[in-house]
Structure 1
Amino acid sequence: MAKPNPCKKPCSNGLLLLGATLFVLLLLWILCFTRLHLTLFLDSYFTDPINKTISDRVPDSPEGTFYDDPDLSYSVEKPMKNWDEKRRKWLKLHPSVAAGAQNRILMLTGTQSSPCRNRIGDHLLLRTFKNKVDYCRIHGYDILYNNAHLHPKMDSYWAKLPIIQASMMAHPEVEWIWWVEADAVFTDMEFTLPMEKYKNHNLVVHGWPNMVYGDKENKSWTGLNTGLFLIRNCQWSMNLINEWARMGPISEEYETWGEILKSTFKDKAFPLPDDQSSLIYMLFKEKERWGEKTYLESEYDLEAYWVGAVEGYEEVGKEYKGMEEEESSFSCLFELAT
C-alpha cells in the first residue's frame, strides 16, 4: 500500500493562493489601465474645441463690443447703425468663431407661443421641426427655434422680421440667416444650397422677375414667396428689415399701405398689408436700392406649395427605387468577386 504524500494538500493550497494572487493582480492592472484610458479620453474630450460649449470657445473679450452699449436695442423699431463695423470688430475679438464665419448659416424657424387649438397641430409642428433638425444635422447648419412674440403689434406673418433682426444681433458669428416657416418641410434631404451663386447678393428668395419687376398687368402678390428665404447678416439687411417693417402693423399708415398694395396687385384678395406684397413693392419701387442685391431664385424650387410638389413624388420614388436596385446589384457582384 502506497504511503500518502504529505505535500499534496499544502501544494494544492499553495497553487490556489498563487492563482488568487495572480487574479487579483490582473484585476488591479485592468482597473488601472481602464482608469488611465478613461482619464485620457475625458481630458481629450473636454479640451477639444469642438466639444466645448460656446461660452468655453468664445470667452468674453476684455475689450468692449456692441453688446456693452447701454443704448443697444433689439427692437425692430430702432434701426441698427454701423452693423458691419460692429460685427467685424466682434469677430476680430473672437477668432475661434471668426474662421469660416463667411460661410456659416443659421436656420431660423419658430411657432406661436401658445399651443394649437387642436393637439394634432402641435404634433405636426413637432414633426416638421424634427425634419428641419435632421436637414441641419446632415448639412452642418445650426438651427434656432423661436416661440417668443418679440413685438406686440408684429403678429402673424409680420412676426418674422423682429425675430430675424434679433437673431442677426445675437449671432454675429453667422453670415446668413435662413428663415424657414414652421409648416415648411424639406423633401430632399440631400439638397445643398448653391451659395456660390449668391455671393454678390444679400437676399435670396424664390420668385419670378417678370412678376416682380414687370409691368402692372403682370405684377402679382405671389411673385415671390417669403415663407423661406436667405438673408445676409449685414447692414444692408438691417436697413431692409427696418424699411420693410414700416409697412407693417407698427406703422401709423398701416391701412393706407393696404390700399396702395391692393391697388398695385390686382390679385391681392385682402385689404391689409402683408410681408410678401410689401417686399415686392419695395423691390420694384426702389430696384437700385433693394433689387440689385436681391436674387430671385427660379432655377429650382427653393419652396413649393405642397399640392404641386406631391404630384412628382411618384416619379421621384421610382428614380430612387431604381438607384437602390442598381446599388444592390453592384453589392452582390462585388461580394461574388471577392
Structure 2
Amino acid sequence: MLRPSTEAKTFYKVSQAGEMKAKNFLSSQKGRRLVKAVNSLKITVLCGFITILVLRGTLGPGGLFGGSAAPHSVDLREQIIKAQRAKVLAQVEDAVPDNATASKFVEEEKWDPSTPYTLGPKITDWDSQREKWNTLNPGMNKTLSGRPKTLLVSGSQPSPCANPMGDFYHLKFLKNRIDYARLHGLEFFYNMATFEKEMSSFWAKLPLLRKMMLNHPDVEWIWWMDSDAIFTDMTFEMPMEKYGKNNLIVHGFHNLLFEQHSWIGLNTGSFLIRNCQWSLDLLDALAPFGPEGETRVKAGELFTDKLVNRPVFEADDQSALVYIILYGDPKWKANTYVEWEFFLHGYWKFVVYNYEKMMAKDHPGYGDERWPFVTHFVGCKPCKLGANVENDECFKQMERAFNFADNQVLEKYGYSHAALGSFKTRKIRRDSTDPLGLENISKKETDHTTAEPRLLQQSAQGENFDSSIMK
C-alpha cells in the first residue's frame, strides 16, 4: 500500500482549509449577497437571450440591428388583409357606449327590438323628388366648373379622446380634408353628433349618410371618409366619368370579394355613394344588421358563417355590405364599382415609409403606389390612453403623412416642412414684386403691339419679312 507523500498531505490540508474558508464566507451575510447577485445575473442573461430570440422572430427580416425587408418582398395583399382585420377588430374593441352622450340623446320613438330596425320613414320616390327640386333650382347640383356636386363627409366621437394626442391628430386630419375640399370645389360636412343611439361605432355613418342625402338634394355624390384616413395626393381627383351609372364606388379586390367571398374583399373607410333611390334602398337593407345588442351579435354570427375567414365578433358595416353584395339582391352587385387602380384606401404601413422615395422620384397626381391618394391608418387607436410602442409609431407616421400632404399645400405660398417628421417650416422661394407673374405677360403684349405697326409698314412697302415673328 502506497503512503501519500508529504506534498500531497500538505495540498490536502490546504484544500480542506480553503473549502472551510469558502463555506464560512458563503454562509456570511456578505457571501449570501454575492450568491444572490450571481444568481440574479444568470437569470438576467437568460431573460435577455430569450427576449432577443422573441424580438428577432417578431421583427422578421433585418433583425434588431438595422435593415428591413425589401418593400417588394412583402405581399401587399397580405398586408391589406391583416390591416382590414386589425381595423374592424380595433373598432369593435373601442365600441364602448358613451353614457354621457346617450343620456342627452332625445328619443322621439323607442325602437322595438322585435321589429326590423329602420333609419326612418320608407321613401320610394326619391329620384323623382330630386328631379323636381333640381328643376326648381337649376344649376345647384353642379360646381362652378360644371362637375357634379360632391359632399365630403367625415366625423369623430362627440366626447374628448382619453389621449389628448388623438384630438390633436383629429384636428390635423380635419385641416387636411378642408384643404382638399377647398382645392377641388367639394362641399364639406364634419359630424360630432349622435344621430341614432342604436347605431353606434362603425354603424353611425348610416343614419348620417341618410341625413346628408335627404337634406342636400343638390348634392350628386356623398364621399365618406373615416377619421383615421388622410388625403396624401392633393392633386389627384376622382375620375368620376369612368363610373357611368354605378352608384357605389368602394376600394377592394375582385378576386377576394367575388371569388373567395372574403369579408375583407372591400374597405368602407373611404367610399363614394350617389344621392339616389338605389342608395337609400342600400342603407335600408344594411340598417337591420346594425342596432347594438343581440341583433348585432346574431348578425355577426351570420356573417362569420357565410364569409371566409371572418372571426367571431358582432356585425360590422363592412361585413354587412360584403354579405348583401354576395347574397342579397343582384342590383347591389350590379351597381357597385370595386376600385383597385388607385389608393382610395391606402394601408399606411405600405406607403408611409416610402414618402421620401416618392418625393425624390415622382410627383403628385398619380394616386397609386407612386403617390398614394389616401393613406388610411387602419388599426391605430389614437384616442386610447397610455403609451405603447404601436401607438407611438402611429402618431409618428400620422405626423409624416400630414406633413407629406401639407407640403403640397404650402408650396404655393413658398414654404415646406423642414422634414416630414417636423412641424417646423422653411422658406423654399423668395418673395417677388410680381407675385402674379403679370410682368412677363405685359412685356409680351408690349412687344407684340410695337412689332405689329412695323410689320404692317413693311407689308405696305412690299418688303419681305419673316412671318414667324408674329408667333
Q: TM-score, normalised by structure 1?
A: 0.69
CA separation in 2, counterparts of 1:219 and 1:96? 42
1:232 matched to which residue of 2? 274
| Separation (CA, whole Å) in 2 of partners of 1:227 and 1:314 | 25
- Secondary structure in 2 matching 1:173: coil
Partner in structure 2 of residue 213 of structure 1? 258
Q: Distance in 1 between matches of 2:252 and 2:205?
A: 19
Q: Spell out, residue by residue over 1:284-323, the C-alpha distance to the aligned partner (whole angstroms, 9 max, x if none).
A: 11362200000000111111121112133132111258xx
Letter in 1 for 2:231: F
Number of the residue aligned with 1:39: none
1:106 corresponds to: 151
Bigger radius of gyration among the two: 2
Residue 314 of structure 2 is matched in structure 1 by 272
Does the 8 Å contact 2:153/2:224 carry over to 1? yes
Q: How many residues align?
A: 249
Q: Secondary structure at the match of 1:145?
A: strand
In the TM superposition, what are the counterparts of 1:183-222 in structure 2 within 5 Å?
Answer: 183-214=228-259, 218-222=260-264
- In the alignment, the residues of structure 2 paired with residue 97 and residue 108 of structure 1 have an alpha-carbon distance, to the nearest angstrom, of 19
Q: What residue in structure 2 maps to residue 317 of structure 1?
A: 359
Name the % identity.
41
Q: Does the aligned pair in 1 maintain the 2:142–2:148 contact within 8 Å?
A: no
Aligned to 1:33: none
Once residues 320 and 291 of structure 1 are traced to their aligned partners in structure 2, the CA distance between those partners, rounded to angstroms, is 36
Which amino acid counterpart does residue 134 of structure 2 have in structure 1? L
1:171 to 216, 220, 233: 216
> Does 2:197 correspond to 1:121?
no
4+ residue runs over 6 A deviation: none
- Name the amino acid aligned to 1:231: I
The residue that corresponds to 1:60 in the other structure is: none
* Residue deviations 1:126-167 (CA, integer Å, cap 9, x gap): 000000000011111110111111000101000000000000
Structure 2 equivalent of residue 182 of structure 1: 227
1:175-199 Cα shifts (integer Å, max 9, x gaps): 0000011111111100110000112
| Shift in CA distance, 190/102, structure 1 to aligned 2, threshold 3 Å | closer
- In 1, the alpha carbon distance for the partners of 2:293 and 2:284 equals 11
1:263 aligns with 2:305: yes
Mark the CA change 1:270 to 1:125 in structure 2 (over 3 Å): closer, same or farther. farther
- Counterpart Cα distance in 2 of 1:151 and 1:167: 14
Does residue 293 (structure 1) correspond to residue 293 (structure 2)? The answer is no
Q: Which residue of 1 aligns with 2:416?
A: none
What is the letter of the counterpart of residue 251 of structure 2?
A: H
For structure 2, list consecutive stretches of 5 or more residues without a partner in the other structure.
1-117, 364-407, 409-427, 429-439, 445-471
2:264 and 2:357 map into 1 onto residues whose CA distance is 27
Letter of the 2:346 counterpart: A
For structure 1, the 5+ residue unaligned runs are 1-74, 329-334
Q: 2:132 maps to what in 1?
A: 89
Q: CA deviation at 1:248?
A: 1.2
Quote the Cα distance in structure 1 between the aligned partners of 2:176 and 2:349.
19
CA 174–102 in structure 1, closer or farther in 2 if over 3 Å, else same:
farther
2-structure distance, mates of 1:320, 1:263: 45
Corresponding residue for 1:308?
A: 350
Determine the C-alpha separation between the residues in 1 that align with 2:148 and 2:257.
29
Q: TM-score scaled by structure 2?
A: 0.50
User: What residue is the counterpart of 1:61 in the other structure?
Assistant: none
Residues 297 and 290 from structure 1, CA distance in 2 versus in 1: closer, same or farther, beyond 3 angstroms? same
Amino acid at match of 1:187: T
Deviations 1:47-74, CA, capped at 9 Å, x for gaps: xxxxxxxxxxxxxxxxxxxxxxxxxxxx
CA contact (8 A) 2:150 2:187 kept: yes
From 179, 183, 193, the counterpart of 1:138: 183
Q: In structure 2, what residue type is equivalent to 1:89?
A: K
1:141/1:269 Cα in 2 relative to 1: closer, same or farther (>3 Å)? same
Deviation of 1:91 after TM superposition, in Å, equals: 1.3
8 A contact 1:178–1:229 mirrored in 2: yes
Task: Calculate the aligned-residue CA RMSD, in Å.
Answer: 2.5
User: Contact conserved, 1:153 with 1:249, CA < 8 A, in 2?
Assistant: yes
Displacement, 1:251? 8.9
